[in-house]
Amino acid sequence: MVRRDVLMSIRPEYAEAILCGSKVYELRRRRPSFAAGSRVVVYSSSPDQQLLGTFEAGAVHEAEPAALWEVVRGEAGISGEAFDAYFADCAVGYAIKVLRPRRLEPQRLRFRPPQSYLFLRPGRRGHRGVLRWAGAAA
């Protein structure tokens, strides 16, 4: 897989936990299609609806939910009950290791945010501004 720039929608409480360093795994029900080393731009979803910062994607852990919980317990910013509810219908879950989180000056997104994530492309007008903003983290 190729390292890419990714815009990821994350609930506000989890976005904050990632950027303050208390959440070191981002949980997903579907396997991410970007490589370790990709830059993830954090979009804090409703009600915040703004870009907050970035992190580097580390290794992706893949396991059935009970085994995944053993890996992420205490580091995913979520209770066991909420974890179980999130992965209730899933045979497999995924945990993206969060590396080098960086908080930036909040900024509004000028296009419709993704439900999960999207790849940022420098050739797309709305994406260019996000990539410039995220470049402040480098």
CATH of residue 83: 2.30.130.30
pLDDT given for residue 125 in this prediction: 87
Full domain range(s) for residue 108: 5-130
137 lies in some domain: no
Asked, for residue 87, whether it belongs to a domain, the answer is: yes
pLDDT of residue 117: 96
Rounded to whole angstroms, the Cα distance separating 16 from 10 reads 9
Question: According to the model, what pLDDT value does residue 137 have?
Answer: 46
Secondary element (H or E) of residue 114: none
Whether 16 maps to a domain, the answer reads yes
**pLDDT score at 1:** 67
Q: What is the domain count for the chain? A: 1
pLDDT of residue 66: 97
Asked if the structure places residue 48 within a domain, the reply is yes
Residue 135 belongs to some domain of the structure: no
- Tokens 């981002």, located at residue: 26
Q: Per the domain annotation, does 138 fall within a domain?
A: no
Q: Kindly state whether residue 44 falls inside one of the protein's structural domains.
A: yes
Domain contains 118: yes
User: Which one, of 7, 107, 113, lies nearest residue 57 by Cα?
Assistant: 7
Taking alpha carbons only, the member of 41, 71, 38 closest to residue 56 is: 38
What is residue 69's predicted lDDT score, i.e. its pLDDT? 98
The pLDDT profile of the chain, 138 residues, written as one tens digit per residue, is 667 999 999 999 999 999 999 999 999 999 999 999 999 999 999 999 999 999 999 999 999 999 999 999 999 999 999 999 999 999 999 999 999 999 999 999 999 999 999 999 999 989 999 999 998 544
Asked if residues 41 and 8 have their Cβ atoms less than 8 Å apart, the reply is yes
